Amino acid sequence: MLGRVLRAQTDVKPVFVSVGHRTSLDLATTITLGLSRHYRLPEAIRRADFLSRQALRRPPS
């Protein structure tokens, strides 16, 4: 298997998890579920998205 569809919480869209460099699908799934306790997406991805959008809103220097 190359990927898995995960639903970290009920009644939310699923997240697609796939294998990575030297990472098994089971490990990727465990990590994703461990980082997705309060939201659909893992916290690291949510934070990166927030910071990138914040940077785009800043006027150029």
Strand partners, 15: 6
| Residues β-bridged to residue 6 | 15
pTM listed for this prediction: 0.74
C-beta of residue 6 within 8 angstroms of C-beta of residue 29: yes
Tens-digit pLDDT profile for residues 8-26: 888 889 999 999 899 999 9
The domain tally of the chain equals: 1
Q: For residue 47, give both structure tokens.
A: 């934070």
**pLDDT tens digits, 19-56:** 989 999 999 999 999 988 888 888 999 999 999 999 99
Residue 15: domain span? 3-57
